[in-house]
Structure 1
């Protein structure tokens, strides 16, 4: 097994450009996300454990903004329903290409996993089929704020009555003191994972116009507006949370 490439994208001074999920990022994404997003491995693992509670036979499962397929991989190993297919979608062609390579190799060594179909597409433009599970794992924050309600409404319309949406996001807090403390702790998390002050500052500048985050209260209100009746925060690690929304 080849060693995982290390994220050094912002380790030297570079011209400021908006962050993009291009080949440079995709190549180091697994390392980047683990060192940047506190609680990320736990979110992946636990959604894999929770999903079988909601998966139904003869339905689709959507992994929206699937990146390299970590969520899809967890779902494939936990869900055993019949005539079920995972549809994993991302608007980054390099992400889909690398994820496709991974799942092709996986299918050569594992039997009995539910099928997966990877698509390079814009999730705001996709027509969804009836589904028992939707996952937006650190995805909605990269969607234009004006398009988020419409996307969630479309998800709700396609979700089966006993299904679930799992939504994970970086958030902000309305209390300035709480925000300041958790920001400092997040910076400490990144430093402990080997990022320098230059890397932290350049990454922040690159992503500030691309990733626009909401508070939990805004997420909850928007999900209710989209038609979801029950919205629960089941996880928090610093300023990263995960929500389950039920029809």
Structure 2
């Protein structure tokens, strides 16, 4: 995973992501609702891939008593998170790095949104295992990422639909179509079954799909 540091890409992150991820703000709210099923009023939550601060801000506004540890490899994206959070930054500590840079916890819940699809399977499994180690028994993990079948015709059909959504949301058509090849060439995307299998291998149980939007899928899982 290469940290995002290009200034134009960083400055346009929020607007761009909202255009290519269906229901982005609803995804954040749904994640907050799912965490709150088990997290107490004074919960400590780990947010991996926290750069930009969009989900952190949503969670903090939903749960004023929660405290957050946000981790991201990009210093520029963490700075954007600070600006995005505004007054809510008082509830957040940010850490530059990967999962190994995250505090040991234990946490009442964790999230990893729009991040795991950048990691090859072995690194993805290690990341999930390290999150598992940092959670309290019974604590939830919410993940969401690109996830689609590997068969060429099925994969291409869903990528085309995803590109059409981006174009309908205002992304230039050529750029939207170009994303199809970029995702196929650069992202080690797994199938939904492979994603669930990795969560199980990392030690998680009670795995439920809660979000299914073109090429994006989201699951809630729990540490036993």
Alignment-derived partner of residue 54 in structure 2: 70
User: What is the CA-CA distance between 1:39 and the residue it aligns to?
Assistant: 2.7
TM superposition outliers: structure 1 runs of 4+ over 6 Å? none
- The within-5 A match list for 1:6-155 is 20-56=4-40, 60-81=44-65, 84-103=66-85, 105-107=86-88, 115-155=91-131
CA RMSD in angstroms, aligned pairs only: 2.5
Alignment-derived partner of residue 3 in structure 1: none
Q: Secondary structure at the match of 2:12?
A: helix
Give CA-to-partner distance per residue, 1:92-131, whole Å, 9 cap, x none.
111111211233x324xxxxx9711112122245352100
**C-alpha distance in 1 between matches for 2:90 and 2:40:** 12
Residue 138 of structure 2 is aligned to residue 162 of structure 1: yes
Larger radius of gyration: 1
User: What is the CA-CA distance between 1:209 and the residue it aligns to?
Assistant: 4.9
**C-alpha distance in 1 between matches for 2:186 and 2:150:** 21
Aligned residue pairs, count: 222
Give CA-to-partner distance per residue, 1:179-217, whole Å, 9 cap, x none.
343223212212212233431344455555543211110
Alignment-derived partner of residue 173 in structure 1: 149
**Residue 122 to residue 174, structure 1, CA distance change in 2 (3 Å):** closer
Moved more, 170-179 or 35-44: 170-179
Aligned partners of 2:3 and 2:73 also within 8 Å: no
Q: Secondary structure at the match of 2:46?
A: strand
Aligned partners of 2:35 and 2:109 also within 8 Å: yes
User: What is the CA-CA distance between 1:220 and the residue it aligns to?
Assistant: 0.7
Aligned partners of 1:76 and 1:114 also within 8 Å: no
Instruction: Return the TM-score normalized by structure 2.
Output: 0.87
**C-alpha distance in 1 between matches for 2:93 and 2:138:** 23
**C-alpha distance in 2 between matches for 1:168 and 1:45:** 13
**C-alpha distance in 2 between matches for 1:67 and 1:204:** 24
Instruction: Return the TM-score normalized by structure 1.
Output: 0.80
**C-alpha distance in 2 between matches for 1:209 and 1:51:** 33
Greater share of helix: 2
